Amino acid sequence: MKKNLGVVQAVYPMPVLMVAAYDEAGKVNVMNAAWGMICAMDKIALFIDEDHRTTQNILKTKAFTVALADQAHMEAADFFGIASGNKMTDKFERTGYHAEKSVHVNAPIIEEFPLVMECQLAEVVHTENMYAIVGKIVNVAAEEGVLDEKDKVDPAKLNALIFDQFRHGYYVSGEQVGKAWNAGAGLMKQ
């Protein structure tokens, strides 16, 4: 029997996304966003508040990057979610991390995170119930150490953080337990 829990953000797992953009002076800002999702073959939607420093920077520069946080960089990834760029002017610098300018978009790539999507602002969706930044992914770059022999990202090597909204924990993904578009194929024959 199920127990009623009330209103809970009951989606698990959630990604730990590092969203980075420049301000008008070229200063790097990074935020931790769990409410994001691929929404088309070449699009990502970030459900982030309009008042975030990073959101305001994206609206000005029309570009951003989204990196997947990994276990090795959990401390900084969490810090990017705790600290507000609106209140802390040296937020990025405090981590000692490094950024390089993307050659594809006007946005910083945070060197420490192993996988990054470089995005142009495609659309802002603002309704009574939602505020979303939609980016067109123009390039994805990954450290060679997280790739397999066919240059595909290997989740076991990536050690991507996943966020647990139930108890506010971080976990690591990686173990494959089945093959998509195959695990349920037996039911097609019934």
With respect to residue 151, please indicate whether it lies within any of the assigned structural domains.
Answer: yes
With respect to residue 3, please indicate whether it lies within any of the assigned structural domains.
Answer: no
User: Residue 177's domain is classified under what CATH number?
Assistant: 2.30.110.10
pLDDT at 155 over 80: yes
- Residues 35-91: pLDDT tens digits? 999 999 999 999 999 999 999 999 999 999 999 999 999 999 999 999 998 899 999
Phi and psi at 163, nearest 5°, equal -105, 135
Q: What is the DSSP letter of 152?
A: -
Q: What is the mean pLDDT of the chain?
A: 95
- Domains contained in the chain, number: 1
Q: What is the pLDDT of residue 38?
A: 96
Structural domain boundaries, residue 118: 14-188
pLDDT at 174 over 90: no
With respect to residue 142, please indicate whether it lies within any of the assigned structural domains.
Answer: yes
With respect to residue 8, please indicate whether it lies within any of the assigned structural domains.
Answer: no
Is the pTM higher than 0.85? The answer reads yes
